[in-house]
Amino acid sequence: MEKREYKLLKGNEVIAIAAIRCGCDGYFGYPITPQSEVMETLMELKPWETTGMVVLQAESEVASINMLYGGAATGKKVFTSSSSPGISLMAEGLTYLAGAELPCLIVNVVRGGPGLGTIQPAQSDYFQATKGGGHGDYRLIVLAPASVQEMNDFVDLGFELAFKYRNPVMILSDGMIGQMMEKVELSPEKPRWTNEEIEKKYGSWIVKGKPSTRERHIATSLELDSAKQEKFNQKLVAKYAEVTKNETRYEKIMCDDAEYLIVAYGSSARISQKTIELAREKGIKLGLLRPVTLFPYPSKAIQELTPQLKCVLAVEMSTGQMVEDVRLAVNGKIPVEHYGRVGGMIPSPEEVLNAVENLIERK
Amino acid sequence: MIKPENLVYSRTKVLTENIMHYCPGCSHGTVHKLIAEVIDEMGIQDKTIGVSPVGCGVFAYNYLDIDWLEAAHGRAPALATAAKRLNPDRYVFTYQGDGDLASIGTAEIMHACNRGENIVVIFINNAIYGMTGGQMAPTTLIGQVTATTPYGRNVELNGYPLKITELIAQLPGTCYVTRQTVYNPVTVRKTKRAIRKAFENSMMKKGTSFVEVVGTCSSGWKLTPVDANQWMIDNMFPEYPLGDMKDI
Amino acid sequence: MKEEIIIAGFGGQGVLSMGKILAYSGIMQDQEVTWMPSYGPEMRGGTANVTVILSDDRISSPIVNTFDTAIILNQQSLDKFENAVKPDGVLIYDPNGITHPPTRRDIKIYTIEAAEEAARMKNAKAFNMIVLGGFLKVKPIVKMDNVIAGLKKSLPERHHHLIPMNEQAIIRGMDIIKEVN
């Protein structure tokens, strides 16, 4: 068997490398800490000389996201990366992309807010990522990597989902996953799609120039006829239901005999995993459910676990955002509480264990 | 019934049969037709991507029988940038009004032109926001009455008319910057030539071609189409003089 | 095997790259590794630190509160991390610039005069490799072959001619580290 090759890479670096290797056509972005290594790595690697991938530093995040619109509509695999304040600027473009049903990938390496906030890691953009961010009834498909390996894997997965459902996909990471290095096995290289392949796969909707044999294609989110717009909104609802049915992903750790459960994603899940180890040493039957997709959210998995549990702790680096989805899933059957550090502070595994023990004591 | 051999004029095939929503006297229809004719004559219907704006021109995609991207307000040059870079064999043009291009989209147009994107920009300047009901545009003249300048545009309050095309001409990324109009057959023909040149430039890697068309908005200006033309000649042209600013 | 290490000092001392070489060495012997830096304005001359974990099993949290080993290269870092060393853990520090040495009795303390040695070698860049050598003497968790392989992986090819110098510095570090007691 071929010996697997591992690299030691930062989360941000691997995003760039994975994009080139999976045959991405274009990156458009604007520098912001803590994710600037994504564009820096791309510029260093000069993929336009090898795969032909376009890399462009845009004048703003507003421009970057709209460049994605322009590229995605022609059937190209395009992505951008940014951090919280930059994603706020992209909110407009995101809702237009969702409204025009265009596939693309957005990487958000979250930092603390509100406002300029801090450049340290946070998970305080959960609402923005999963409940909207821009206006109108729409959803992004949101992937939450908890390791550098998943940063690598989710680039390809993100594009796959984006094109499968014609929907923008967001990788919701944070400064911790973005800045840390881990062992990573790179994905096999895939060539970029040729124009013929794009035409064959997505010819029914791409905006590439209208041959006389078909009607013109228009990438738009505008519909002045309310009845038609309502129909379109219902179509989106059906799509999101399909995504929920097919694409909900999560990981369960030590849940079989768990009496207590932590629900945490991304960095918080890594930290909480250590908390599970510490708790088990003390004989506390604590398990971890890690949502891998934040939209669709693994509500059903939490529901199914609820009967065996006494209480649940949602651990996130926010003042309490994802905890609302845990509560909706548990639906009042058992107590659900939140523990989090914010503003760029990262909770320690011991701190989380304390919070678990406090919760157990009180319930 | 006219016999085919007696036909001297027909609808350009790149125009759809949809009835335009533009008001009588509006310049948009004329410019649409000129773009359609250029695309038809160049035989590039299957190679052209249009980017429509927010504003009256938003429905341009209903009238030109080509593939379109509908942009958010002001962002058309960003869309066009990526569409062109990722599909260099395509003709990509934006169609933008004065609010879209010279107000909310100032950053996008300046940077696209400064990067020298190989795209065509068609800029319709009628000094007013038509679609939203006649509010002040960045290009509204001093003293001009609009819904948001009911006592006339006041410099102290609103600053000056923005001569964005003059600014664009300063950018090294542009190769062709011109200001035209379409109020009579001579100017219509000149504008068509300008649009054709701009489309041809876009395949020659020369940089951005920018065609401003000073137009009328008789509804917004509250004038008859004939009076609107005269008002444009008397008031708009002194502020926005016609002609090429740059042609490399 | 699992080793949780903090390396802390000034920006520019090679703290992050020492951690990177250590992490790459771990990969060379099929271990799981994480390298988690402090980042931000500290990079520009202030304090810098990195948590490196090497383990035979999947690593849960890349951020930990207590460490098996602390490698300390300035006073601020000593003040900050002395108490974070696990009982029976190891603290290695360069006494250069240290005015308040560590006082704990429940850990093993080592000094390595790496700054002085690097000056003697007329090679300021050898500093972090000397420290790494000292650490590897106390905790031989990675084999020298794997360190060299790790160096090769983490250095760009144009710097590969520096590898023998680095190897020499590591060996020197192994020689000069001293236990304090």
Per-residue pLDDT of B196-215, as tens digits, reads 999 999 999 999 999 999 99
CB of A29 closer than 8 Å to CB of A108: no
Flag whether A233 is in a domain: no
- Determine the pLDDT at residue B2: 80
Pick the CATH number of B16-247 from 1.20.1440.230, 3.40.1390.30, 3.40.50.970, 3.20.80.10: 3.40.50.970
Domain count, chain A: 2
Please say which residue of A185, A204, A233 terminates a domain: A185
Say if the Cβ atoms of A348 and C24 lie within 8 Å: no
In chain C, the domains with their CATH numbers are: 2-179 (3.40.920.10)
Distance between start and end Cα atoms, chain C: 27
Closest among A185, A265, A154 to A9, alpha carbons compared: A185
pLDDT band at C11 (very low <50, low <70, confident <90, very high): confident
The answer on A256 and A159 residing in a single domain is: no
The answer on A146 and A43 residing in a single domain is: yes
Verify cis geometry, omega within 30 degrees of 0, for the bond prior to A168: no
A→B interface, C-beta within 8 Å: 25-26, 28, 54, 56, 58-60, 62-64, 66-71, 73-74, 76, 78, 92-93, 96, 100, 207-212, 216-222
Flag whether A325 is in a domain: yes
Mean pLDDT of B135-150: 97
Between C23, C64, C65, which is nearest A8 by CB? Answer: C23
The answer on A168 and A80 residing in a single domain is: yes
Per-residue pLDDT of C81-121, as tens digits, reads 999 999 999 999 999 999 999 999 999 999 999 999 999 99
All residues at 6 or more sequence positions from A270 whose CB lies less than 8 Å from its CB, including other chains: A146, A147, C60, C61, C62, C63
Mean pLDDT of B128-133: 93
Flag whether A236 is in a domain: no
pLDDT band at C44 (very low <50, low <70, confident <90, very high): low
The answer on A156 and A18 residing in a single domain is: yes
Residues B209-242: b if buried by 16+ CB within 10 A, e if exposed: bbbbbbbbbbbbbebeeeebbebbeebbeebbeb
Distance from CA of A320 to the nearest CA of B (A): 33
Kindly state the tokens that stand for B193.
């030539």
Distance from CA of C6 to the nearest CA of A (A): 14
Question: What residue segments make up the domains of chain B, in order of their start?
Answer: 16-247
Between A6, A119, A176, which is nearest C40 by CB? Answer: A119
- Determine the pLDDT at residue A362: 86
Please say which residue of A153, A185, A217 terminates a domain: A185
C contact residues 123-152, partner A, Cβ 8 Å cutoff: none
Q: Are strands A54-57 and A104-110 parallel, antiparallel or unpaired?
A: unpaired
The answer on A277 and A175 residing in a single domain is: no
- Determine the pLDDT at residue C181: 74
A188 sits in which H/E element: none
The answer on A264 and A178 residing in a single domain is: no
Please say which residue of A167, A185, A203 terminates a domain: A185
The CA radius of gyration of chain B, in Å to the nearest whole number, is 17
pLDDT band at A133 (very low <50, low <70, confident <90, very high): confident
A70: three-class secondary structure by DSSP: helix
The answer on A166 and A81 residing in a single domain is: yes
Contacts of A271 in chain C (CB under 8 A): 60-61, 63
The answer on A150 and A64 residing in a single domain is: yes
ipTM for the whole predicted complex goes beyond 0.90: yes
DSSP H helices, chain B, are 28-42, 60-63, 76-86, 98-99, 106-115, 155-158, 164-170, 185-201, 218-221, 225-231, 237-239
Q: Does C42 score more than 60 pLDDT?
A: no
Closest among A222, A193, A224, A219 to A204, alpha carbons compared: A219
- In degrees, rounded to 5, the angle at the alpha carbon of residue B181 between the alpha carbons of residues B178 and B186 is 105
Flag whether A275 is in a domain: yes
Between B81, B107, B111, which is nearest A70 by CB? Answer: B81
Say if the Cβ atoms of A183 and C32 lie within 8 Å: yes
Number of C-beta neighbours around residue C106 at 10 A: 9
The boundaries of the domain holding residue A39 are 6-185
All residues at 6 or more sequence positions from C28 whose CB lies less than 8 Å from its CB, including other chains: C142, C145, C146, C149, C150, C153
Q: Which residue of A has its CA nearest to C34?
A: A182
- A189 by Cβ neighbours in 10 Å (0-12 / 13-18 / 19+) ranks as exposed
- At C25, the amino acid letter reads S
Alpha carbons C85 and C104: distance in angstroms, whole number: 10
